[in-house]
Structure 1
Amino acid sequence: MRIRLVMGLALLSTGALAGAFGYGAANLVPTFDAVPLEMRLSFHARLMEMNGITMQGAMALSALSSATLAVMTRGTPRRLAGGAGLLALASFLITRLGNVPINGRIKEWAATSAPLDHARILDRWEAFNYARTGAAFAAFLLLILLALRRGGADHAPNDPPQDG
């Protein structure tokens, strides 16, 4: 029963993470590119303030619940859950090391003005955004595959692995 609850939490948090990043990649980024630079900078800066806690919380919950699921299972389920946890961690690291520093610069630009090479920097932000989105979707896919397996992850740690 505990495995099913952890599996549900991993699916929920990772699905929410992939959905939020997917929405941003499919809708926000093209909108950012279609509006005047000043509007983009000011909206982007405010959006990142709002997203900070919720998105990092979703990334942490996704990574922790997937890792917990990996510890609770064996064989292929362990590998799938562990892979999902690593991909969720990757989305967090890409965000913290790639997007967040650029977000800080964007916040400064919104209050002052963008430098001449702003387009190159914004392109880097978008590349990081697509990378973290891909990692989140891949994590969600691994958890879906795990859930669809015959019996899913619903077996005790001492049960034989379900590799077939």
Structure 2
Amino acid sequence: MLSALEVVTTVVVGLMVGVEFSVAFVMNPIFKALPEDSGLLGRAHGGRMLGAVMPVWYIASLVLSAVWAVAAWGDPGTRLVVVAAGLLVLSVIMSVLLLVPINNRGKTWTPENRPADWKEQANRWDRYHYVRVAVIVAAFALLVTALV
């Protein structure tokens, strides 16, 4: 049963990392290259769509990691899982304090109501997101290392 938990946790976190990596290094650069209104609308739609899904995914990843750490307590690699869970806690805190407030504003923007500094806010979100991606990549790497 522990092996199944380890694999499920690693897959769930790995998929989350893949989505967030794609947002940072594929989708947002595409949006930046589009004409102004198209990029704004794309980011707003992405903010609405992913803003609804990612909180559940982050919490599920954290809970699965915590359950793994408890279930495997004392086994080799458990410290790595505990550190990974700590990094996932950090990613949730970063999300709530830094990224969600910007996303909540950005997902409502249209060409008619966008603030004058919308690009600055989007760039700030991107910078915070790069850090968050690094944090969750590190968590994923620790989980994979603990798994093997």
**Inter-partner Cα distance in structure 2 for 1:49 and 1:25:** 16
Query: Corresponding residue for 2:129?
Result: 129
**Inter-partner Cα distance in structure 1 for 2:17 and 2:69:** 20
**Inter-partner Cα distance in structure 1 for 2:114 and 2:51:** 22
Greater shift, 115-124 or 2-11, is seen at 115-124
Q: Does 1:26 align with 2:10?
A: no
Query: Corresponding residue for 2:81?
Result: 81
Identity of aligned residues (%): 28
* CA-to-aligned-CA distance 1:98-147 (integer Å, 9 cap, x gap): 22211222234326333333332111100111111111111110011111
Query: Corresponding residue for 2:96?
Result: 96
Contact 1:84 1:143 in 2 (8 A): yes
Based on CA coordinates, which of the two structures has the bigger radius of gyration?
A: 1
Instruction: Count the aligned residue pairs.
Output: 147
Query: Corresponding residue for 1:57?
Result: 56
* CA-to-aligned-CA distance 1:52-91 (integer Å, 9 cap, x gap): 2322222111111111111122265221111111212222
TM superposition shift of 1:12:
1.1
Scaled by the length of structure 1, what TM-score is found? 0.80
| Matching of residues 140-155 of structure 1 within 5 Å | 140-148=140-148
**Inter-partner Cα distance in structure 2 for 1:76 and 1:37:** 52
Query: Corresponding residue for 2:37?
Result: 38
**How has the CA–CA distance of structure 1 residues 12 and 88 changed in structure 2, closer, same or farther, with 3 Å as cutoff?**
same
**Inter-partner Cα distance in structure 1 for 2:74 and 2:84:** 15
Q: Does 1:138 align with 2:123?
A: no
Scaled by the length of structure 2, what TM-score is found? 0.88
**Inter-partner Cα distance in structure 1 for 2:3 and 2:57:** 19
Q: Does 1:5 align with 2:4?
A: yes
CA root-mean-square deviation? 1.8
**Inter-partner Cα distance in structure 1 for 2:120 and 2:50:** 23
What SS is found at the alignment partner of 1:109? coil
Greater shift, 72-81 or 2-11, is seen at 72-81
**Inter-partner Cα distance in structure 2 for 1:28 and 1:54:** 17
Contact 1:94 1:132 in 2 (8 A): yes
**Inter-partner Cα distance in structure 1 for 2:5 and 2:44:** 34
